[in-house]
Amino acid sequence: MTAFTEVARDVYVLRYPVLDVNASLVVGADAALLVDTLSTDAQARELREAVRAVTSYPLTVVNTHHHFDHCFGNAVLAAPDRPIWAHEEAARLLGEEAARLQRQWYAEWVTADPDLAAGLAAVTVRPPDHPVHLEATLDLGDRQVVLRHLGRGHSAGDLVVHVPDADVIIAGDLVEEGAPPSFDDGFPLEWPETLVRLLELTTSATVVVPGHGATVGPAFVRTQHADLTTLEWLIRDGHTDGATVDEVVTRAPFDPDATRVAVRRGYAELSGRVT
């Protein structure tokens, strides 16, 4: 069974092998907070076993954003009377757009990973019921956890989970380790500034939990911010100069496939087709 690893006092991370995605657990004096719930019912049941190996406290759930690998386990992991928190846009998408997204993700994965696709199709999506506009503070008994929307980046509804007394930031897919950032629903012209706001919350010793991959520190986030800033200005200059997408891709710091998506998204935003 996949297990949690303690990364700070009573803060744990489970790095799940499918999609290398992270789920985080914050334990207080009389309650616990689970950040992200994996992709399928089967994965969520495995995650629940790992949680119960650490704590029996009732769970409050937070989704860092609306993508399936961070929230499709909600119905398994959140008891009917327990809250699920997310940014208001993530909550809207998982409510109003859930059926469309479920069909879309099934189609995207059915060839590459039929088992995952079947699991996605079988999920009963439970949307978050506690939306966050900019900030909310949750009390776990002897510690507080702050949920913050610092701006758009990986998605329109990214939520950062800050555990101040442990100096931990759970960043979701605003920070990626082991793979390039994903821009499919992203905002490459805004992402760098969002990371500036994230870095303002850090100290030299802060543990940053990315959405995927190994835990990192502020130095890693600063490097990713620099690369995203380079990409932002390549997109802006390319749009002004009338450069093709592929001309921008050749100069960018990320791999061509990820960059191609980012440039198209950025060009669409600059042309008023993405708001």
Q: What is the pLDDT of residues 137-147, one digit of tens each?
A: 999 999 999 99
**If residue 245 lies in a helix (H) or strand (E), which one and from where to where?**
helix 245-249
User: Which tokens hold the place of 44?
Assistant: 């969520």
User: Does 10 score more than 80 pLDDT?
Assistant: yes
Of the chain, the percentage scoring pLDDT greater than 70 comes to 99
- Residue 173 belongs to some domain of the structure: yes
User: Does 1 score more than 70 pLDDT?
Assistant: no
Whole-number pLDDT of residue 273: 85
Query: What letter does residue 75 receive in the DSSP assignment?
Result: H
73 CB contacts (<8 Å, ≥6 apart)?
Answer: 37, 38, 39, 40, 41, 43, 44, 47
- Residue 131 belongs to some domain of the structure: yes
pTM: 0.97
Number of domain units in the chain: 1
The string over 36-56, giving b where at least 16 C-beta atoms fall within 10 Å of a residue's C-beta and e elsewhere, is bbbbbbebbebbbebbeebbe
Whole-number pLDDT of residue 89: 98
Nearest-CA neighbor of 38 among 52, 56, 24?
24
- Greatest pairwise CA separation for the chain in angstroms: 59
Quote the domain boundaries for residue 168: 5-218
- Residue 244 belongs to some domain of the structure: no
User: How many Cα neighbours within 13 Å face the side chain of 81?
Assistant: 1
Give the residues across from 148 on adjacent strands: 135, 160
Q: What is the pLDDT of residues 232-264, one digit of tens each?
A: 999 999 999 999 999 999 999 999 999 999 999
For tokens 């469309």, the residue is 100
User: Which tokens hold the place of 78?
Assistant: 């959140």
The CATH code of the domain that includes 144 is: 3.60.15.10
Give the residues across from 69 on adjacent strands: none
User: Which tokens hold the place of 210?
Assistant: 């990315």
- Residue 252 belongs to some domain of the structure: no
Nearest-CA neighbor of 227 among 269, 158, 176?
176
Average pLDDT of the chain, as a whole number = 97
Nearest-CA neighbor of 259 among 191, 190, 181, 194?
181
Whole-number pLDDT of residue 19: 97
Query: What letter does residue 110 receive in the DSSP assignment?
Result: T
- Residue 29 belongs to some domain of the structure: yes
**If residue 136 lies in a helix (H) or strand (E), which one and from where to where?**
strand 135-139
- Residue 243 belongs to some domain of the structure: no
User: Does 14 score more than 70 pLDDT?
Assistant: yes
Give mean pLDDT, residues 52-80: 98
- Residue 272 belongs to some domain of the structure: no
Q: What is the pLDDT of residues 181-211, one digit of tens each?
A: 999 999 999 999 999 999 999 999 999 999 9
Composition of the chain by helix, strand, coil, percent to 5: 40, 25, 40
- Residue 227 belongs to some domain of the structure: no
